[in-house]
Structure 1
Amino acid sequence: MAEQRRHGQETQGPSGPAAASLWPLSALELDDLLEELRARAGVARESQVRMASLLDAVVAVSSNLDLADVLHRIVVSACELVDATYGALGVLGPSGEELVEFVTHGLTDEGRAAIGPLPRGHGLLGLIISSPQPQRVSDIGEHPKSYGFPPNHPPMTSFLGAPVRIRDDVFGNLYLTDKKHAKNFSQDDEAILVALAAAAGVAIENARLYDRARGQQLWAEAAGRATQGLLAGEAQDVVLAEVAHRVADLTQASSCFVALTRGTDVVVVASTGTGPPVGTSVGDLGLRAAMLADGETVHLDTVGSTGTRSTVPLAVGNTPMGVIVLDWTVEERASHLAELSGFAEQLTVSLVAATAHTERARAELFADRDRIARDMHDHVIQRLFATGMSLQSASRLSDDAVRPRLERAVDDLDAAIKDIRHTIFALHRPAVARDLASEITSVCRDASVTLGFPPDLRLVGRTDDLPEQLEADVLAVLREALSNVARHASATSVQVSVEASGGVVVTVVDDGQGLDPDRTRSSGLANLARRADERGGELRVERHEPSGTRLVWSVPAGEDDLA
């Protein structure tokens, strides 16, 4: 045992110091190894955190379907992921060569306004447009493509950019500057931004699809509302006024107006507040006939700026019915033209259907009027006429006390028959009504047969703006007055005047034998007086010097009487 212990001590003796001299070196290697493991674990944790942040950002940008909110969320998420001070998302226009929208983060509204117009894609911004690849720059000012900053622009150094693609198309570009806690953006930052840009493309496409579907729904609702209003019998100008405002809202146009054909002219019938007044001829607005027929987008000069005007025709086949015209200012974009064209087609069909519906209703109305007129002529008038003949026969057989009363009864029957004939004439007015001036001229021309000469006619003011019921009153006054002149006045001339200015005044003056003061007012004149009273007016029948009678029928202007 002692020998064994000695042997052990002898064998351990030489190896002890050697082993002791090797352990410190092994400890250093272990420390290095542990440090490396800690570093790698830290990197792994950091990568895991950034990956989690990236996933959170993807969820955030995909959680909203409003395109404007999605774009803003993308910029904010990009700045947070790569620790950037400033961020922007530039949206490319249809040409793919210039920026039409610029969503920013890191700048205040006041700071952005102080910079001035939005960038269009020069310098480093244009580099990513022309070559849609990620770009990482340590100092913007030293880059050969640097375009410089406009006045009031904050200083920027480091730069990181990447394109945002939707399938094979580039929607826009993400731009980030000035990393907060490092001098430059890293390769990992670039990888993170590229991944976010890919997810952003999907989110933008979803938002655009939703926006398109929502827009189609809004256009369908607008078309349905217009169709419902027109077919329900609402006034056309009221419906089209609502259409003009709705179209302006949906297209974000600064103004919109609707013009329809009126004879050989095209006239504005509805307009938004900044559009041309209703009643304006489109020829006065510089619109060409070819533009109205085919539809055209043109650039025009407005007061102090340049804008865009688009015209969308309203046509049935090759027959133009009118046009919808929209204006955009320089800061706005003409959009939704495809949807607007479809809306215009539906509106045209609705206008045609409403016109056909009105014509059918008008035809039914006049067919019913014809039936009533026939019944009145064949039954009522004949019975009254027979009664008058019987009374006339009875008056010749009666004594002097009864005869005057019978003659007055016969006169009343004659007046009633005349009123009924006038009513029948009114019932037979044509389905396609003429303007009031033409109707007045026709009444005077017809009266010349019984007068033996044509009356002198004078029209003052816009008689065509009177409502239909007031037109009927004016025509009834003229027929009654001219009939009285033909039957009682023995006149050689008649002056007729119709004034529609601040009210309606109908004047009929003859040079006949004058008014009989002992004659009571006939039922015809009593009817005219009642028509005037109902409208707050009056009827005056007076002598005219040196001879003859003056009839004046006047009513004041009401809210529904004059335009």
Structure 2
Amino acid sequence: MLLAALDVASDLGIETTMRRLVRSVRSLTDAESAQLRLAVSGDGSRTISATHESPEPRETVDRAGVSPYDDDAPLPRVTAPGPSDTGRRITAALLVHDKEYGRLDLTGKVGGAGFTEEDRAAVACLVSAGSVAIANSLRFDSMRRWLGTSIALSTQLPPKSQDVRELIVNQALRPSAAVLAAVVSPSSDRSFARCEAAAGERAEKVLRKTLALTDSVAGDVLAAGRPRVCRAADLVGEDFADGLGEALLAPLMPRGGEPSLLILCRERGADPFQPLDLEMAEVFCTHAGLAMELTQGQRLREQLVLFADRDRIARDLHDVVIQRLFAAGLSIQSLRRYTDDEAAHQRITGVTQELDEAIRELRDTIYSLQAETEEELSSRLARTVQDGTDSQSAIPRLEINGPVDAAVPDRIADHLVAVATEGVSNAVRHSGATTIDVSVTVEDGIVRLVVQDDGRGFAATRRRSGLANLEQRASDLHGTFKVSSLPGKGTRLSWTAPLPGDDSSETAAELS
């Protein structure tokens, strides 16, 4: 019996484990037949059976999906014969995570004898070992799916037309067995979060909706930075839960950027999330943050390639094409001395004027290319962070979220770069930090800059002149400026400014 139990539990494959269980139970009890009837799944009901004549287990599938159980009552584990036990049959429930995974049915004993107490004890032992082995197999299979998806996410960059958050929610659906996945981003005051990407059957219902964060589970998860499971109704209320059961919330925290929240919801009545799901969701979010960083880096590299191409074209036009056209014009004008024909002179003048017009248009094109290749705000910020930490041991990290280049006008961009320069400089010169995280986010009509370091911090209430200048810049733009620091805990600088032309007046509502 011990060897049979070890054999059942020696493989992490679910199919192999179930076949070994059926074979071992039949062999150990010398039963005429053994059947493991599994609960109905999306593929129908399945039965794994073995007989005395055909001891190798075989599987049959009922595609109609009819329950293979004779009745729907849950069965206890086998410990002793029941009141209706005739000695010719043993039936036991295979429990996984305290839920019935299938039923094992032994019928008849070879030679016609009845099953003994030892047989029933053996069945109880093997069913218990099978339950543990299948639970471990399910955990291993779930972990493998999570890890495979996480690795694929961190190595597969989305196309230019797709937001990386859309890729994240689509990938998260696969290993989590969720019917809805959403990424929500908090507002600047952390009072509510907007759904920026969603996938699943209910995606259209929740996209661009808002979720209250104040005194909520979602707000607690963002503050603690640890995954948590709750009821979907606890997030949005019973009226908006719409058949959803449990919800798993995991913080999505890209390095140097503002955190978001990944929400995974299962249908009501579905299996609950297990502790392993929380652990693997946290790993998945780490890879998702890496994917966001890679996408941002790819976009900056593409910009640099584009700028380099424009510079090269402008130089070629100026140094080669215009010079050749100018030389051709001089050569044509020199033909005047070889003829007195008035018609020829007019023709020479006309061709010269055409060449002059072509040169002017080419120069306009060159100026246009040079104007377009002026550094965008994201590139200026990247250069500022890099230059500010080049000669230091501190590791810089830059995170850019939202349409920073398109939405921030030059006037605010100049202030933003100046604030970033001062913030990075202060962190380098005064904090002794090993890492400096800089994030710039455009959201809800506001541009927000955060500079955070892990340096020595300070407790003095007297504000330095540099910080006073940053506060004045925020005031000039009707924005905000805040510095928080504790000795030994690092310093966090937050600077915001409203963007022109934004007439949105959203208030926090519930995700529905």
TM-score range, shorter chain: 0.3 to 0.5
User: Which of the two has higher C-alpha Rg?
Assistant: 1
Q: So what's the TM-score if we normalise by structure 2?
A: 0.47
Q: So what's the TM-score if we normalise by structure 1?
A: 0.44
